[in-house]
Each structure stands twice: as C-alpha cells, then as structure tokens.
Structure 1
Amino acid sequence: MKHERIQSLNNRILEEYTNEKIVLGDGNLDCSIMLIGEAPGAKEVELKKPFVGQAGKYLDEFIEVLDIGREQLYITNVVKYRPTKKSTKTDGVVNRPPTNVEIEKFKKYLIEEIDIIEPKIIVPLGNTPIKGIFEDNFKIGEVHGKALEINIKGKEYKVFPLYHPAAVIYRRELKAVYLDDLQELKKLMRKKC
C-alpha cells in the first residue's frame, strides 16, 4: 500500500515539474526515522538520490552516532529540485537556499510524504525543513535538539530538529552542539522506536 501511494505521489511531482531535474525521497518506507533536508545539491541531482556526495559524508556521521544504518531511514528534501544561482567566483552555478515560494509549492507534497511514511520521529535538518512542516516561524537556533510535536492529517508526530550537518562545516562552534543534539535524539529513539 505504501509503495503504491509513494509511487503515485512521485509521479505527480514528476508530472508537475517536467522542466526540473527532480530528486525524490529515498529509503525504507517502514522506517522509524525520516530525515528532511532543504533541497538536493549537484551530486544528488547527478545520482538522483538525496544525501550522497558531500552530504552523504555528513549522513554517515549522523548514522554512526545513532548506531543505525541508512537502510533504516527514509530521506527526502522539502524542495525536490536544486535551487541555483549564478556565481561570479566560479563562472558557473552554485546552490542557494530555497525561497519561501519554492518551499510553499512543495509543502503539500512533503506533508503527503510524511503521511505515507508515518515515521515515529521526523528530523528536519535546518530552517528550510522546519518551514516545510510547521506553520510557526521557528528558527533552528531556537528549536534544535528539542522534541516537538506536530499533527499531520490527524496523526501526532514527534519532531526533533537538528542543525543541518553542512552548517557545522561553516560554523565549527556548532560541532559540539550538533553531537550533543544527536545524543538526545538517540535517547528519544530508544523511547519511541
């Protein structure tokens, strides 16, 4: 049933965004934990899979700390295509954060994806995924490492926001906070999963 529902959802996304290189969610449809990133990068577009390449290295650390395997996760992004902008430094294109309009366009799909997967814990990585699931204007700096709750289509879900692992690269002072938050998530997993 889940497989047919996710296939139908994916087909609708592909039909609506025929001019974009779409990266769909991937992973265990019966998972306990659903990770939500903001949007795919170049490597994700190339391989048509979320959290590979450099992002995959961050994911490896995440799953190592939690003592789980990638096969136990479902991984998706709020925006399913790569938002880019021209770069004068590289004479090419670089990633940019999704706009509020892009987030809103994909929000209905993300909510349906959560409804299909029904994870025990939703882990939004950064501000964009938080905007993708909450109506409130939360900021990751205020809610990271805290167990929240949300009602989606009549079901209650635990939400555990984390800084995006890439943020730790740019702000080294977040590394200890990030690792502490992962330990808290591990405790929550023992209770919920």
Structure 2
Amino acid sequence: MAGAEEYVPAGAGIEELAAAVHDCRGCDLYKDATQAVFGEGPANATVVIVGEVPGDQEDRQGHPFVGPAGKLLDRALVEAGIDRTKVYVTNAVKHFKFKQAERGKRRIHQKPGRTEVVACRPWLLAELDTLRPDLVVLLGATAAQSLLGTGFKVTQERGKVVELPERPARAVATVHPSSVLRSDDREAAYQGLVEDLKSAASVIGQRQTRR
C-alpha cells in the first residue's frame, strides 16, 4: 500500500487540501466509497476533533459528522461548553470503509485497518500543520493511535491532557460518539463523553487566557 503522501500537495491550505483529497489513491478504500470526506471548520480553529472514518451518511453527503454520531457529538460539545462553530472536525481516514449487508442495500461500517490508517495519515498531518490548533480531541482508539501511537489505550488515558508528539499542541482522547450509541447504558456513556470534553474545554480556556 503506497500511502497518501504523494497525493498531498506540499504547503497547501485547507481548501487546496480538500480539493486534492478526491484524487487520492493511497489505499484501496476509494474504490468502493462514494467520495472522500475531508475535514471542515474554520481555518483559524484552535480546536481540531478527529474521529475514525466517515460513516454512511458522511459518505453520501460528503461532510464529516453529519450522521447520528455527529449529532450526539454536537450535543455533548454544547454541554461541555465548547463552541461547535469554532471547531474543525475531521477523521483519521478519509474514505468510508464498509461491507454490504447480506440482505438489502444497507452498508455496514467497518473499522479501518492499521495499514489504512497509516496510509491516510499524511492528510491528517497536513490538516494539523495547516491549522496549527492548540488542542486536538481524539475520538476513539483509531484516532488516538493514529497520532499517539499504537500503545495508547483510550480506556486508560481518556480525559487526560497529553502533549501531541512532534507538534506544539495538546491532546485529549475520549470514546467515539458511535460507541455511546451502541452502549447498553447510553446515558452513563454519554455523561462520560461529556466529562472528557469538559477536560478538553479547560485546556481551551487556559490557552485563550494566555493570548
């Protein structure tokens, strides 16, 4: 698997990157996905939220976090005191990975493999290098391990503020909102997500005070 690096235009801004991603052939996910789904948000965002991979609705609409998990995230951000309009949202992998249901037309989400995460990582790094956020919020193991290494355990480190390797930013990892939707105790899982996001919000406040 060649990886995306050769497709990422050097020194590009967010709009140029968002246009270039549609020509990416760094892994095979582009063959079945409807389109690449790049990040969205203000170019001066101080907070970047990174998820796993576009879902069914994101793949169809071409925008990140527009499905059920995205709506839950929006609600949790409000409760945590984070202004959603000032946040840039993206995914570690830019193409939807799925398998076709045995019956009907439903597409079942699949977790991207490590090779696909590594192949797509140049796009995520390009976003971070262009935006230069103060804080990166990592949703789920795929996102967290894409930037913090495969040894990082979200279950053990969630809600903690850590330094992002090789970049002047802090990071907070938490569960992906989709896991909240799948939880047997959805309310408890949701409150846990909100508490982790409140930890992230405290970092934002610190950084804003220093400016």
Given residue 127 of structure 1, which amino acid in structure 2 is its aligned partner?
A: A
Task: Find the aligned partners of 1:59 and 1:180 in 2 and give their Cα distance.
Answer: 13
Summarize the Cα distance change of 1:180–1:22 in structure 2 as closer, same or farther, 3 Å threshold. Answer: same
SS of aligned partner of 2:90: strand
Q: In the alignment, which of 40, 55, 61 is matched to residue 26 of structure 1?
A: 40
Summarize the Cα distance change of 1:87–1:146 in structure 2 as closer, same or farther, 3 Å threshold. Answer: same
| 1:165 aligns to 2:177 (yes or no) | yes
Give the gaps of 5 or more residues in structure 1: none
Given residue 175 of structure 1, which amino acid in structure 2 is its aligned partner?
A: Y
Alpha-carbon shift at residue 108 of structure 1 (Å): 1.4
Aligned pairs for 1:60-99 (under 5 A) are 60-88=74-102, 92-99=106-113
Paired residues, what number? 189
SS of aligned partner of 1:148: strand
| Percent identity over paired residues | 25
**Are the equivalent residues in 1 in contact too, given 2:140–2:174 (CA < 8 A)?**
yes
TM score, norm. by length of structure 1? 0.88
Which segment is superposed worse, 126-135 or 75-84? Answer: 126-135
Which segment is superposed worse, 84-93 or 179-188? Answer: 84-93
**Are the equivalent residues in 2 in contact too, given 1:103–1:131 (CA < 8 A)?**
no
TM score, norm. by length of structure 2? 0.81
Task: Find the aligned partners of 1:23 and 1:181 in 2 and give their Cα distance.
Answer: 26
Alignment match, 2:4: none
Report Cα offsets for 1:77-101 as digits up to 9, x if no partner: 0110110013336564211111111
RMSD over equivalenced CA pairs, Å? 2.1
Instruction: Please identify runs of 4+ aligned residues in structure 1 that moved more than 6 A.
Output: none
Alignment match, 2:23: 15
Alpha-carbon shift at residue 174 of structure 1 (Å): 2.5
Task: Find the aligned partners of 1:182 and 1:5 in 2 and give their Cα distance.
Answer: 28
Give the gaps of 5 or more residues in structure 2: 1-10
Alpha-carbon shift at residue 69 of structure 1 (Å): 3.2
Task: Find the aligned partners of 1:112 and 1:149 in 2 and give their Cα distance.
Answer: 18
Task: Find the aligned partners of 1:179 and 1:14 in 2 and give their Cα distance.
Answer: 34
Alpha-carbon shift at residue 13 of structure 1 (Å): 2.1
